[in-house]
Amino acid sequence: MSTVTITAADINKLRQTTGAGMLDCRKALTETNGDFEAAIDWLRKQGQKVAAKRNDREAKEGVIIAKTSADNKTGFVVCISCETDFVSKNVDFVAFAQSIADAAVENNVKSAEELNEVLVNGAKVSDLINDKLASIGEKIGVAKFERIEANYVASYIHGANRMGVLVGLTADAAEAGKDVAMQIAAMNPLAVDPDAIPAATIERERSIVVETMKADPKMAGKPDEMIAKIAEGKLNAFFKENTLLAQAFVKDGGKTVGEYLQSVNADLKVTQFVRVALG
């Protein structure tokens, strides 16, 4: 029995994330003692059609800037958060976020902590943020910072500064880099390929698949070996949906992203990527 008080706000948050019904969300949270991620898994194990297996929750509102160094070998994503979209859409606030991202690039910053100490026009970024906070009356800050290095890094900003993507490639390929970045923005892959997915994530998915199948009356009496074999097939479908190179290319559904890259350059590969989104 849950010892945690489940509030209407908790239930609504789970409903918004999963699309499940109110009563199901309440029961999921009760059964998992209020653990949000465990509640999502509980719903999935019960056969619920969960709308989102994961959520981007880097900031409630704000501005995301994705930029690269002049030689395109280093990429940066900076998220300056705020409380309302009224502020995030303000031209001056966007320019403020841009100036901080520019400082990150110019100083080749390695972390959010380092960025807060960088000088912009003689003042620390942290002090500028405090001044901006005082002037607009909303809590703001460097909510997210990402940095990657590669032989070539492509950057992409989507949806009026609501999402930023960086893609590291093995060779200079500006157009392909933009195409892949747009793919990542649209399809939100977990990793480049199955080898890059954490073992814990794979085991979590395998457990959900196996438990869901065992709960299916049609699978009653089926040997564990058969269930395990079918589960591996479903896990391969999970990899196809959630790994970048195996996904269908959004600009040409007749090929995968991996096949698209091969058509551009047989030696072109994605080494890593980051995707930062608001809300």
- Rounded to two decimals, the pTM is 0.77
pLDDT at 20: 82
CATH assignment of 1-55, among 1.10.8.10, 3.30.70.20, 1.20.1260.10, 3.65.10.10: 1.10.8.10
Whether residue 211 contacts residue 45, with contact meaning beta carbons closer than 8 Å, is answered with: yes
| Residue numbers of the chain with a pLDDT score lower than 50 | 1-2, 53-59
List, in sequence order, every residue forming a beta bridge with 68; answer none if it has no partner.
Answer: 75
Q: What is the pLDDT of residues 53-93, one digit of tens each?
A: 444 444 489 999 999 999 999 999 999 999 999 999 999 99
pLDDT value for 19:
77
CATH of 61-170, one of 3.30.479.20, 3.40.50.1370, 3.90.1150.110, 3.40.50.2300: 3.30.479.20
Instruction: For residue 212, give both structure tokens.
Output: 């869901």
Listed by start position, the domains of the chain span 1-55, 61-170
Q: How many Cβ atoms are within 10 Å of 9's Cβ, its own excluded?
A: 8
Q: Report the alpha-carbon distance of residue 241 to residue 255 in Å, rounded.
A: 14
CA distance 234 to 209: 7
